[in-house]
Amino acid sequence: MTRPTLFYHLHDIGTEQALIQLEGAKEFNKLRSVDDMSWLAQLESNRIDVAIIELPRLSHEDYLSLIESAAMTHIEFIFLSDGQPNPHLDKLMSQCAGYHFRQPYDMALISDTLAEFAQYLVSTSAHRPRPFSSELDQYGVLVGSSGAMHKLYRTIRRVSVTDSNVLIIGESGAGKELVANTIHLASPRVNAPFIAINCGALSPELVDSELFGHVKGAFTGANRDHKGVFEQAEGGTLFLDEVTEMPIEHQVKLLRVLENSEYRPVGGAKVQLANVRIVAATNRDPIAAIEEGLFREDLYFRLAQFPIRVPPLRERGDDIIGLARHFLAYRNVAEKQSKYFTDASIQLISAHPWCGNVRELKHAIERAYILADQEILPSHLQLTTASETNSLEVEHVVIPQGMRLDDLERIAIYQALETTQGNKTDTAEQLGISVKTLYNKLSKYEQQVESDEPTVE
């Protein structure tokens, strides 16, 4: 059981002595503010549970910084003042920012307040980690501390320094694109572009142009030169996602460029040389796809110089809960909230099969976050297995008050993805939209969520 931390920023030495010796302060580790850094910056950069701040005055700037700070969402504040009217402090108090004691301080009351905080913090810390911090290890853009993930990190480290083509194999939503991204980040090509294309979403008429580019006037509508993905990724990494979904008659185009590194833009006279590292991914068993006639064997051998298997989420043990808390923590910090899972929700998350892997988990947390006020209950997670959802008869849908149309659309898409176990063609069909529209919407949502997450420089 960890001891909570009490931070104090006080001006009067006598008050400081009296406060730290209070009975109610005994349960805390104590951290005194230092002079050469703003107290707010110190609060934000340490793991603080309770802060006692003595404010002879609170300026408008202090007030704005404090109200905007992530510290407001998870630190219990006790403000001490000399009692002179301070409209900014009054404003803070009206937003339930904490307790405000005026001089002469009632030390017995402050002691009781601290004791109450300590009791709450100690009793909850054992089973409820802080809702605004993640405890998982990270390598590149991948997050996870399980043995399976550490093994994956070691493999990525080994392969990233080479120039071998890599084929990433793993279930839908397991993180193949993040693996590809991490390979690029850990490779000597890191300062050149990482370009990702989804081979399943290439329009048949434009495959050549999307891969190799075209020159102005090459076909009707080609009003100017267009760079294909091989040229865009020059010097860097080209990620061919869902490579087995590319129509087999088009796969030969990839094979040719992989064989001799040469390609020619549509309508162009000049052959160009590609200097790109190819990382491809599939959520099919590639050998089975070859046997079914969906994947060219010669292309497989070219791509799979180094195959990497991404473990499904169910093989990652405690990372399931760790990732749920990780996603929640990032949302909490971004939204300045401190929503948390109840014990029943944690049990439900542990027991769920997560066939849609990390994507399904991330979406479930996202949805629950939108639906919950403070406590995330099992009902907010809306976890149903695919068979249950298929047989569900929806009599009426209850839409929480104040929900935005954007959020409703997002929930509908996530839910459809779950029922189809991540199959985007089936999902698009179920929703009555094109596969391309679905890809665009998903990439928009993922960018929105990921902009709140850490990136690796």
Find all residues with CB under 8 Å of 85, minimum gap 6, and list them. Answer: none
User: In this structure, are residues 350 and 138 in contact, taking their beta carbons and an 8 Å threshold?
Assistant: no
CB of 77 to ligand ATP, least distance (A): 32
Nearest CA-CA partner of 285 in 435, 439, 167, 178: 167
Which CB sits closer to ligand ATP, 70 or 449?
449
Verify binding: residue 113, ligand ATP, rule CB under 6 A.
no
CB of 287 to ligand ATP, least distance (A): 18
d(CA 268, CA 353): 51
Please pick, from the candidates 58, 266, 276, 358, the single residue that binds ligand ATP as defined by CB under 6 A.
358
Dig out the tokens for 248 from the structure.
């087999």
Verify binding: residue 345, ligand ATP, rule CB under 6 A.
no
Q: Kindly state the DSSP code that residue 361 receives in the 8-state scheme.
A: H
Verify binding: residue 178, ligand ATP, rule CB under 6 A.
yes
| Segment contacting ligand ATP by CB under 6 A, of 184-192, 216-224, 268-276, 357-365 | 357-365
Which CB sits closer to ligand ATP, 8 or 354?
354
Measuring CA to CA, how many Å separate 84 from each of 63, 101, 102, 248, 328?
A: 16, 12, 9, 78, 40
Verify binding: residue 177, ligand ATP, rule CB under 6 A.
yes
CB of 248 to ligand ATP, least distance (A): 19
Beta 138-139 vs 142-143: how paired, if at all? antiparallel
Please pick, from the candidates 160, 182, 283, 420, the single residue that binds ligand ATP as defined by CB under 6 A.
283
Restricted to residues 360-379, the positions that interact with ligand ATP (CB under 6 A) are: 362
Q: How many residues bind ligand ATP (CB under 6 A)?
A: 19
Pattern 12-31, ligand ATP, x by CB under 6 A: --------------------
Per the DSSP assignment, residues forming a β-bridge with 195 are 238
Which CB sits closer to ligand ATP, 234 or 453?
453
Torsion of CA 148, 154, 157, 159, to 10 degrees: -80
CB of 132 to ligand ATP, least distance (A): 17
Verify binding: residue 380, ligand ATP, rule CB under 6 A.
no
d(CA 335, CA 452): 10
Nearest CA-CA partner of 226 in 203, 240, 206: 206
| Segment contacting ligand ATP by CB under 6 A, of 3-11, 61-69, 138-146, 426-434 | 138-146
Find all residues with CB under 8 Å of 455, minimum gap 6, and list them. Answer: 141
CB of 383 to ligand ATP, least distance (A): 16
Dig out the tokens for 71 from the structure.
């510290």
Instruction: Say whether 247 sits in a helix, a strand or coil.
Output: coil
Measuring CA to CA, how many Å separate 269 from each of 220, 234, 263, 265?
A: 18, 19, 11, 8
Pattern 195-224, ligand ATP, x by CB under 6 A: ------------------------------
Which CB sits closer to ligand ATP, 290 or 313?
313
Dig out the tokens for 133 from the structure.
């911090």
Please pick, from the candidates 24, 98, 173, 265, the single residue that binds ligand ATP as defined by CB under 6 A.
173
Residue nearest to ligand ATP (CB): 175
Restricted to residues 243-282, the positions that interact with ligand ATP (CB under 6 A) are: 281
CB of 208 to ligand ATP, least distance (A): 23
Measuring CA to CA, how many Å separate 70 from each of 28, 89, 152?
A: 22, 18, 33
Which CB sits closer to ligand ATP, 279 or 299?
279
Please pick, from the candidates 33, 86, 155, 172, the single residue that binds ligand ATP as defined by CB under 6 A.
172
CA of residue 67 relative to chain centroid, distance: 25
Instruction: Say whether 42 sits in a helix, a strand or coil.
Output: helix
Per the DSSP assignment, residues forming a β-bridge with 30 are 6
CB of 157 to ligand ATP, least distance (A): 15
Per the DSSP assignment, residues forming a β-bridge with 76 are 50
d(CA 233, CA 261): 13
Which CB sits closer to ligand ATP, 37 or 412?
412
Please pick, from the candidates 241, 245, 366, 418, the single residue that binds ligand ATP as defined by CB under 6 A.
241
CB of 297 to ligand ATP, least distance (A): 22
Which CB sits closer to ligand ATP, 58 or 438?
438
Restricted to residues 408-427, the positions that interact with ligand ATP (CB under 6 A) are: 422
Find all residues with CB under 8 Å of 335, minimum gap 6, and list them. Answer: none
Restricted to residues 37-96, the positions that interact with ligand ATP (CB under 6 A) are: none
Find all residues with CB under 8 Å of 334, minimum gap 6, and list them. Answer: 452
CB of 172 to ligand ATP, least distance (A): 4
Verify binding: residue 143, ligand ATP, rule CB under 6 A.
yes
d(CA 259, CA 443): 31
Residue ranges in contact with ligand ATP by CB under 6 A? 142-144, 170, 172-178, 241, 281, 283, 358-359, 362, 422, 446
